[in-house]
Structure 1
Amino acid sequence: MTEHDDRQILRQLFDAALAVAQPERCVQHFLPEPTAGRTLVIGAGKASAAMAQALEQHWVGEISGLVVTRYGYAVPCTHIEIVEAAHPVPDAAGEQAAQHMLDMVQGLTADDQVIVLISGGGSALLPLPADGLTLADKQHISQALLRSGASIQEMNIVRRHLSAIKGGRLAAACYPARVVNLLISDVPGDDLPAIASGPTVGDPSTCAEALAVLARYDIEVPALVQEGLAQGRLESVKPDDPRLHNVTTHLVAAPQVALEAAAQAARTAGITPLILGDSLEGEARELGKVMAGITRQVSTFGQPIAPPCVLLSGGETTVTVRGNGVGGRNVEFLLSLAVALQGMSGVTALAADTDGVDGMAEVAGALIDEHTLTRARALSIDPQAALDTNNGHGFFAALNDALITGPTLTNVNDFRAILIR
């Protein structure tokens, strides 16, 4: 086997993970029956338009609605309006769509039902600010959180308390209609309130926790919002709220399912897979060092698995941006892994975001092999300097090792695979 062959195998594993999480394959199995009243479809996320299209293909009866997806992620629908907006930093299109969605669910009855299509990215795509906050404020806070190194759970605690639609508020607005949530998980542990900041599920977190996150990362908010959080006026809708008693939630795709599909593809290729977890977190560069240590143990001692094998993992790491790069947790992980391995023979790795966008760049991720550092130095590129400045995207673009997929129309978090011969 050559490095080219191993790169091809890794891409096949990634494609298998994407395929099993495509809305056209998973949404149809969770559709509710029509009701006596109206069926309204709403939603948000990078996969929401594809989810709406899959729903339309299998629905019998009348439907209408609105979903918001990222620019470039729209697909044609007949009865459900598709709006595109900005991600990860929100824009006015998302704000207007969120307000329209909130208006649409007013006045529903107990005979009506609302099917909610939610996937990762929905939080930024529904940026309707809480009282005392403007869209510009939310943009500033979003950018600060993205650069701070805060975990996705911490970011979403803040987002749920600074929103007029998230943190269960959208589900409460649908009352007394039946609400059926169809969710594609992109968060560690499939934590429901963290998926798109939980617009249609109860939120157990508190204003005090949101304040603590803002203080921890030294993020400023307007005085009126600070006061609202301190006094509890911006509290989210809690899981025991009676307006949520008619809400049913289904996970239609999740990171673990994607990893299992990749594992099966590895077996087909004659390689033994080992799934290390679907919810690995922490700083991307630190996880890179840890995975380098595991890789050395496998290569040297055949523990906890003997080569040829592939180490699979998912989850969502963070990047604290301190340099002049744009971050990107998958490229930072890979660059850290490559630096730690120092060209170890027989190791090839891929890391990518399953939505096709790693951080602020229109790049899914990248690949490395035992020659990555040598090729970089031949181009007068210092791998450690690139890591120190959070410039993983620039590093892999220069080597022509960036993985560019375009919109994948799904989102089941990050995918990491280390192939060891």
Structure 2
Amino acid sequence: MFGAAIAAAAPDRAVAANLPDRPGGRCLVVGAGKASAAMALAVEAAWPDVALQGVVSTRYGHGAACKRIRIVEAGHPVPDANSLAAADAMLELLQGAGPGDLVLALVSGGGSACLARPIAGVTLADKQAITRELLRSGAPIGEMNRVRKALSAVKGGGLARAAGSARICTLVISDVPGDDPADVASGPTIPHAGRPEDALEILDRHGIALPDRVRTAILAQSALPAIDRPQDEVRLIASPSQSLAAAASLARDHGYAIVDLGDRVQGEAAQVAARHAELALRLAAQGGPPTAIVSGGETTVTLPQGCTGSGGRNSEYQLALARALDGHPRIWSIAGDSDGIDGASDAAGAIAAPGTLARASRLGLDIDRALADHDSHRFFAAGDLVITGPTRTNVNDIRIQLVR
């Protein structure tokens, strides 16, 4: 089921089925995100006779062997110098765009970090420090993206502003709850209607201190003219809901009833896991048909200062779920990030099975200590990690419980 969910978001199929009409003039390709290089490769394969040139930026290890589109691998989840170089290369490319050109933007989750050009008065070091604090704060992805847009000259429509009179078609693989294209990679080609004050309110609420010059720089963005681009087009080509539907379809083929909790699940990973465990235990007690519980979205993990644990939101979810299930003999669970990378670990996520707690006990692992220390990767490393490597797509988290 997990594999079916990822396959449903494969960039090669999604891009080929959603390309606009072939341009009469040049096609300038820009983009960012964990799927952007695979998307660029699909464009090259579909349009071998179109005059393509471009730059896309992806996470380290997520590149592809493109011939005509330059691939830049950059930092994630914290931007780095390559993120900056990629943004500058895209801005330079778009300076020459004219009314006869098509700008094809390839956007997926992860692009906010892979593409970085701070606004005047803000440095890359400022953005890195603020990003690290946001990641530790447990702020939901929507809030993080509002801050990223306020700090960026390329997000929130910044690349669209640079494209002048050229037509833009944006292909989006969504990783955000609700599938608003403006939130995927912080919407580099989609104008943002928010106020700079909104970003400051988010930062203040999470206790993230800002130098006065950064606060002043954010407020200065209100003086920029609005971006009006009625000629542009946005196409959502893959989404979490499509991937969950593919997983559910496979389960039905094997005789499972489906409980679909939707693709917008958010909240602290351990708290979400407690609710899902309660549902699974209730279904097991009812003695009904075999059932698959599916859910997507993006949970968060709020880390205390000085935390040294390793893992990500999906393996933390599995830790809390396994603790709540307490070795129930009829419930299995998998949770993983569809991009193959859970947090900063080498795993997509983890599996929790009826024997998980017993095996941990034999190995001398304490699940309560692991939860307190946010040390889920080490707890599951004995054999319950899900290792996929980079999948080169990203439709956020896939969680499945089987009640048999």
Class of the TM-score when normalised by the shorter of the 2 chains: over 0.9
Moved over 6 A (4+): none
Structure 1 position 246, deviation (Å): 1.7
> Who is 2:43 aligned against?
55
Residue 282 in structure 1 maps to residue 248 in structure 2: no
Q: 2:380 and 2:55 mapped to 1: Cα distance? A: 38
Q: Which residue of 1 aligns with 2:398?
A: 415
The aligned counterpart of 1:293 is 278
Cα distance, 1:42 vs structure 2: 0.7
d(CA) in 2 for partners of 1:392 and 1:340? Answer: 15
Which ranges of structure 1 fall in alignment gaps of 5 or more residues? 1-12
Query: Counterparts of 1:206 and 1:344 in 2: how far apart (Å)?
Result: 49
| Equivalent residue number for residue 406 of structure 1 | 389
Task: Report whether the alignment pairs 1:309 with 2:297.
Answer: no
Look up the match of 2:323.
339
Distance 1:236 1:350 in 2: 48
1:342, 1:29 → 2: CA distance? Answer: 45
Deviation at 1:236, TM superposition (A): 9.5
The one-character-per-residue Cα deviations of 1:145-186 (angstroms, maximum 9, x if unpaired) are 111100000110000000111011111111210000000000
Cα pair distance change 1:409/1:236, threshold 3 Å: farther
Kept in 1: contact 2:119–2:217 (CA 8 A): no
On the 8 A contact 1:176/1:246 being kept in 2, the answer is no
Which residue, 220, 223, 230 being the options, matches 1:233? 220
CA contact (8 A) 1:274 1:312 kept: yes
Separation of aligned partners in 2, 1:320 and 1:112: 45
1:237 Cα deviation after fit: 7.6
Write the mapping of 1:15-414 to structure 2, written as runs, cut at 5 A.
Answer: 15-59=3-47, 60-229=49-218, 232-235=219-222, 241-242=227-228, 244-301=229-286, 306-322=288-304, 323-397=307-381, 399-414=382-397
Measured after TM superposition, the shift of residue 325 of structure 1 is 1.1
Q: Quick one: which amino acid aligns to residue 241 of structure 1?
A: I
Gap change, CA 1:235 and 1:51, over 3 Å in 2:
farther
CA deviation map 1:369-411 (0-9, x unaligned) = 11111211222211011011111111111x3211111010100
How far has the Cα of 1:327 moved from its partner? 4.5
Question: Residue 160 of structure 2 contacts residue 189 of structure 2 at CA under 8 Å; is this kept in 1?
Answer: yes
1:66, 1:101 within 8 Å by CA — same for their partners in 2? yes
CA distance in 1, matches of 2:255, 2:197: 51
Identity of aligned residues (%): 47
Match of 1:81, SS state, is strand
Distance in 1, matches of 2:303 and 2:130, equals 15
TM-score (norm 2): 0.96
**Aligned alpha-carbon RMSD (Å):** 1.4
User: 1:235 Cα deviation (Å)?
Assistant: 4.0
- Paired residues of 1:355 and 1:410 also in contact (CA < 8 A): yes
Report the 3-state secondary structure (helix = DSSP H, G, I; strand = E; otherwise coil) of the residue aligned with 1:381.
Answer: coil
Please identify, of 214-223 and 403-412, the stretch whose mean Cα deviation from structure 2 is larger.
Answer: 214-223
Contact 1:185–1:411 (Cα < 8 Å) also in 2: yes
How many angstroms apart in 2 are the aligned matches of 1:413 and 1:101? 26
Matched-pair contact (CA < 8 Å) for 1:168–1:237: no
- Cα distance, 1:352 vs structure 2: 0.1
Q: Is the 8 A contact 2:169 2:232 kept in 1?
A: yes
Match of 1:10 in 2: none
Equivalent position SS for 1:259: helix
Kept in 1: contact 2:311–2:378 (CA 8 A): no
Q: CA deviation at 1:271?
A: 2.0
Aligned-pair CA distance for 1:90: 1.2
User: Secondary structure, in 3 states, of the residue corresponding to 2:401?
Assistant: strand
* 1:206/1:236 contact within 8 Å kept: no
CA distance in 1, matches of 2:319, 2:372: 10
Distance 2:46 2:64 in 1: 16
Structure 2, unpaired ranges of 5+: none
Distance 1:218 1:46 in 2: 30
